[in-house]
Structure 1
Amino acid sequence: MNWEQLLSLKRYGDTHKRLRKEQNETRLGFEVDYDRIIFSSAFRSLQDKTQVIPLSKTDFVHTRLTHSLEVSVVGRSLGRLAGQKLIEKHPHLKDTFGYRMNDFGAIVAAAALAHDIGNPPFGHSGEKAIGEYFSHGNGKRFKEQLSEKEFQDLVKFEGNANGFRILTENRPGITGGLRLSYSTLGAFTKYPKESLPHKPSRKIEDKKFGFFQSEKAVFEEVAEELGLKKTREGKDIGYARHPLAFLVEAADDICYTIIDFEDGINLGLIDEDYALEYLIKLVKDNINTTKYNQLKNTADRLAYLRSLAINTLITEAADIFIQNEQTILDGDFHQSLFDMSSYEAQIKDIIKISIEKIYQSEEVISKEIAGYRMLSYLLDIYTNALLPEEKSVDSNFTSLVLKSVPQLEPLQEIDSVYDKLIGICSYTASLTDGMTVASFKKYKGQSL
């Protein structure tokens, strides 16, 4: 892979090549990507989607929206830092093609901003609720009507693949989704493969999948334009990651490691003194003890340590990226940047505490259980409305359901069972936590 291709400004539907040296410096194409994402309705819905605590009423807790904004800020810094070193290392990128270090920052920031845009309500339990509806619930009845890969898309419903769908989906009057640059779409896709074959692998890019069968052709076009290295031949599609996807992943890793931990402290789920001790271990080589000792309250000490930790990890991640640049470009780098971190032990300790004290807390588990049941019920409502069982009779209730959800009405005109089902799942995943509760109560007759 080479940077000249990987930094493509092409968008869906372009009939001519966009050149970086011809870009208007006041509004660069990569920066347009960021704007289009942040003004999209899918992004705005993240303000009512779970990051740590579902349906939390406290101002302390991050939503998917605030988390995504923070990841984008970290990603921008990471991209610029790596970009500065790459331009120094490969001066022709600037001299011949016109690229600047800020271009790398803009691509990573836009991809990072969108990284959670396809996630269902109620966090990862929402993904499992959708998947298990088809593997163990009433959705099993569709298995014989689908190809193996189509069914796998449903039983292993993946927020990353749904995000790619949202960013690229053709809708009436709108072609190419948000029409982002292919560079941003490439950096967004952490798992550039389809849902099958699903084989245990040490390669991080094989951990999940990045696109549904409905967007397979779109991703192939993006991958070809970017020159991504093929990792599979024949009917099974897989590619090496776009190099900047490693920086997007690192930005996310930094934020959920440090900031979810901070949420746990603010919620009283993690003891303050205990938590500060773990953060100090992470930044002990860079801490200004004189400044730290002048801070008299916990909030100020926590803010100082958080800022120092994020800066420390950004600097190290950029260094690891540059040190392994050629291996990454060759498509032979198969781990996250932080798997090579000198702070790996400290990071693992913090994540372990977050899992025990936050993600597995009674409040989180009880709300995820409720969300799981609600999503399963809504999927029953929507699939029965659009794909009723043969013996069922059209009812006024079904008609009212479709009228109440205009987004599902276009699916009535589609013949493909798979396209209807993936459309239903994508719509269900677009619901916020609050909308899920409200829809559940409405169909249960509890909202009057």
Structure 2
Amino acid sequence: MNWEQLLSLKRFGDTNKRLRKEQDETRLGFEVDYDRIIFSSEFRGLQDKTQVVPLSKTDFVHTRLTHSLEVSVVGRSLGRKVGQLLLKKHPHLENVHGYRMNDFGAIVAAAALAHDIGNPPFGHSGEKAIGAYFKEGNGAEFKKHLTEKEYQDLCDFEGNANGFKILTESRAGREGGLRLSYATLGAFTKYPKESLPKRPTNHIVDKKYGFFQSEKQMFEEVATELGLIKRHGDDLSYQRHPLAFLVEAADDICYTIIDFEDGINLGLIEEEYALEYLINLVRGKIITKNYNALNTTEDRISYLRALAIGTLIDEAASLFMTHEDAILEGQFETALLEVSQYKAQITDIINLSIKNVYRSKEVINKEIAGYEILNQLLKAFGKMAFHYFEDTMSSYDKLLLNSLPETVKLCHDSLYKNLLAVCLYISKLSDTNAMLLHKKLQGQIL
């Protein structure tokens, strides 16, 4: 892979090549991506979606929106730091092509901003609930009408693939979705492969998948433009865009440190343990006089959090440059922080968060409720989508169909497209709106 291709400004529908040196310096092409994402209705919907603690009314606790904004800020810093180092190593990128370090920051910031845009209500339990409906619930009856890969898309419903769909799906008045640059779409796609075949490897790309069958052609176009390396013969599986490693690192940094902070502020993790774990990560960087002047838990945690994030940004940038050649050759197979000198400290923090936060009764009880809510929504709308496909709509089905937004389009020639349309609709619901719709289906007049 080479940076000249990887930094492509091309957008869906472009016929002429966009050049960096022709860009308006007041609003660079990659910065337009950020603007389009942040003004999209799908991004705004993240304000009422679970990050860790579902339906929390506490101001301290992060939603998907605040989490995405923080990941984007970390991603911008990380991208700029790496960009500065890359331009020193590859001066022709600046001298010949006109790229600046801020371009790298803008790409990573935009991709990071969108990284959770495809996540359904109620956190990762929402993804599992959708998959379970098709694998084990009423949705299993649709298998005979779908190809193997189409059915796998639904059984392993993936927020990353759903995000790629949201960013790129054409609809009336919005050809090419948000029309983001291919560089940003490449950096967004952490798992550049389809849902099948599943490969039992430790390669980071094989962990999940990044696009549905419905966006297969679009992703191939993006991958070809960027010059991504094909991994397996006939399989649609590619090596990552190098900047996807930075998007992933920004996300890893934020959920490691900030989910931990949420657990502290909720009283799920005791302060004395929290301080010890964070101090282990930033030992030698604390200014004792400044730290001892802090009187509240919140201030002490904030101080250590800032130090921890700064430390891990520097570490991730250094690791990226150390392994840049291997990354460009498609020979780097793990997340950056997996090879960090701080891996032991990061693992300790994550394990404590898993034990005290992710598996707390508050989280588990609300995830159980979310699981049931999404199952009931899929049961009603999935059946309606099937009846539309077969042209056997009941009066109730027609009521459900008329309740859908105008952007949800069903067809008579593809059950797969209908089921994906329903999943996309449900995935865009906020936690609160999913609950309200569930109550409506139960016959409660709101």
TM-score range, shorter chain: over 0.9
The 1:389–1:168 alpha-carbon spacing in structure 2 relative to 1, beyond 3 Å, is: closer
| 8 Å contact kept, 1:167–1:178 | yes
Rounded to whole Å, the distance in 1 between the matches of 2:391 and 2:182 is 45
Aligned to 2:264: 265
> What pairs with 1:167-178 in structure 2 (closer than 5 Å)?
167-178=167-178
Q: Does 1:432 align with 2:430?
A: yes
Residue 394 (structure 1) shift: 3.6
Structure 2: runs of 5 or more not aligned: none
Residue 220 of structure 2 is matched in structure 1 by 220
For 1:171, give the aligned amino acid: R
Matching residue of 2:325: 326
Post-superposition CA distance 1:377-397 (Å, at most 9, x none) = 101111222213999964322
**Partner Cα separation in structure 1 for residue 100 and residue 80 of structure 2:** 9
For residues 48-447 of structure 1, what are the structure 2 equivalents within 5 Å? 48-234=48-234, 236-388=235-387, 394-407=393-406, 410-411=409-410, 413-447=411-445
| Structure 1 residue 447: Cα displacement | 3.3
Looking at structure 1, the residues matched to 62 and 160 of structure 2 have their Cα atoms a distance apart, in angstroms, of 20
Partners of 1:154 and 1:288 in 2: CA distance: 51
CA separation of 1:18 and 1:167: change in aligned 2, threshold 3 A: same
Q: Take 1:355 and 1:436, find their aligned partners in 2: how far apart are those partners?
A: 26
Contact 1:402 1:409 in 2 (8 A): no
Higher alpha-carbon deviation: 425-434 or 182-191: 425-434
The farther-off stretch of 149-158 and 420-429 is: 420-429
Task: Indicate the residue corresponding to 1:46 in structure 2.
Answer: 46
Contact 2:391-2:412 within 8 A present in 1 as well: no
State the Cα distance separating 1:285 from its structure 2 match: 2.4
| Counterpart amino acid of residue 187 in structure 1 | A
TM score, norm. by length of structure 2? 0.98
CA contact (8 A) 1:264 1:270 kept: yes
Shift of 1:342: 0.6
1:200: how far off? 1.2
SS of the residue aligned with 1:196? coil
CA–CA separation in structure 1 for the residues paired with 2:338 and 2:245: 11
Deviations 1:285-337 (A, max 9, x none): 21112221121221111111000000000001000000100000000000000
Which residue in 2 is equivalent to 1:19?
A: 19
Contact 2:171 2:407 in 1 (8 A): no
Instruction: Report the CA distance between 1:175 and its aligned residue.
Output: 0.7
Write the distance in 2 (CA, Å) between the matches of 1:56 and 1:378: 22
- Aligned-residue Cα RMSD (Å) equals 1.4
Kindly provide the amino acid, as one letter, of the partner of residue 230 in structure 1. K
For 2:416 and 2:84, how far apart are their aligned partners in 1?
A: 45
Question: Match of 1:294, as an amino acid?
Answer: A
Structure 1 residue 415 displacement after superposition: 1.4
> What residue ranges of structure 1 are gaps of 5+ in the alignment?
none
CA contact (8 A) 2:120 2:428 kept: yes
Q: Is the 8 A contact 1:72 1:109 kept in 2?
A: yes
Contact 2:37 2:113 in 1 (8 A): yes
Task: Give the AA of the match of 1:86.
Answer: L
Q: Structure 1 residue 372: deviation in Å?
A: 0.5
One-letter amino acid of the structure 2 residue matched with residue 84 of structure 1:
Q
Change (3 A) 1:391 1:228: closer
Range moving further from structure 2, 413-422 or 180-189: 413-422
SS in 2 for 1:402: helix
SS of the equivalent of 2:341 reads coil
- Contact 2:389–2:413 (8 Å) recurs in 1: no
Give me the whole-angstrom Cα distance separating, in 2, the residues matched to 1:408 and 1:144: 27
Q: Which sits farther off after the overlay, 82-91 or 400-409?
A: 400-409
Q: Is the CA contact (8 Å cut-off) linking 2:388 and 2:412 kept in structure 1?
A: no
- Provide the rounded CA distance (Å) in 2 between the counterparts of 1:99 and 1:82: 13
Following TM superposition, by how much is the alpha carbon of 1:406 offset from its aligned partner in structure 2, in angstroms?
A: 2.3
> Are the aligned partners of 1:118 and 1:162 in contact in 2 as well (CA < 8 Å)?
yes
Cα separation, 2, equivalents of 1:395 and 1:200: 44
Query: CA 1:208/1:313 → structure 2, altered by over 3 Å: closer, same or farther?
Result: same
Question: Residue 134 of structure 2 contacts residue 154 of structure 2 at CA under 8 Å; is this kept in 1?
Answer: yes
Q: Percent identity, please.
A: 67
Is the alpha carbon distance of 1:391 and 1:169 closer, same or farther for their aligned partners in structure 2, counting shifts above 3 Å?
A: closer
Find the aligned partners of 1:192 and 1:406 in 2 and give their Cα distance: 30
Q: Greater shift after overlay, 197-206 or 184-193?
A: 197-206
- Taking a change above 3 Å as real, the CA distance of residues 393 and 25 of structure 1, as seen in their structure-2 partners, is closer
- Deviation, 1:409, is 5.2
